[in-house]
Homo-oligomer: A and B are copies of this chain.
Amino acid sequence: MEAKINELKRLWAEAADLRSVGAVLDWDQSTYMPAGGAPARARHIALLGRLAQEKATDVRIGHLLDELQAYAESLPYEHPDAALVRVGRRMYERDLKVPPAFIGDMFQLGAESFNAWAKARPENDFKSLRPYLEKILDTSRRLANFFPGYEHIADPLIDTSDFGMKATTLRSLFAQLRRELLPLVKAISAHPPADNSCLYRHFDQKGQLEIGAELSRQMGYDFQRGRMDLTHHPFTTRFSDGDIRITTRVNEHDLADCLYSCLHEAGHAMYELGIRPELNATALGHGTSAGVHESQSRLWENLVGRSRDFWVYAYPRMQATFPGVLDDISLETFYRAVNKVQRSLIRVDADEVTYNLHVMIRFELELMLLEGNLQVRDLPEVWHAHYQADLGVRAPDDRDGVMQDVHWFAGQIGGMFQGYTLGNILSAQFYQAARQAHPESPEEMRSGKFDTLHGWLIENLYQYGSMFTTDEVVQRATGGPLSIEPYMAYLKGKYGELYDLG
Q: Spell out A's residues near B (CB within 8 Å).
A: 13-14, 17-18, 20-21, 24-25, 28, 32-41, 43-44, 47-48, 51, 222-227, 229, 239-243, 245, 280-281
Contacts and interface: CB of A to CB of B under 8 A. Distances in A.
Q: Majority SS of interface residues in chain A?
A: helix
Among A38, A40, A223, chain B packs the most CB atoms within 10 A around the CB of: A40
A20 B227 CA distance: 23
A241 B40 contact: yes
A36 B280 contact: no
27 contacts: A13-B43, A14-B47, A21-B44, A21-B48, A24-B24, A24-B25, A24-B28, A24-B44, A28-B28, A32-B229, A34-B225, A34-B242, A35-B224, A35-B225, A36-B225, A36-B242, A37-B239, A37-B240, A37-B242, A39-B242, A40-B239, A40-B241, A40-B242, A40-B243, A44-B239, A44-B240, A51-B51
A410 to B, nearest CB: 19
Contacts of A33: 243
Nearest to A32: B227
A459 B337 CA distance: 62
Contact of A223 (B34, B229, B240): B34
Contacts of A280: 40
Given A24-B24, A34-B223, 7 more contacts: A24-B25, A24-B44, A34-B242, A35-B225, A37-B243, A40-B242, A44-B239
Given A17-B43, A21-B21, A21-B25, A242 B48 contact: no
Nearest to A50: B14
Contacts of A225: 34-37
A213 to B, nearest CB: 13
Nearest to A21: B44
A247 to B, nearest CB: 12
A52 to B, nearest CB: 11
A334 to B, nearest CB: 32
Q: Which 5 A-B pairs have the closest CB atoms?
A: A40-B240, A37-B243, A36-B242, A36-B225, A34-B227
A39 B226 contact: no
B226 A36 contact: yes
Contacts of A281: 40
A215 to B, nearest CB: 18
A245 B41 CA distance: 14
Nearest to A38: B242
Nearest to A245: B34
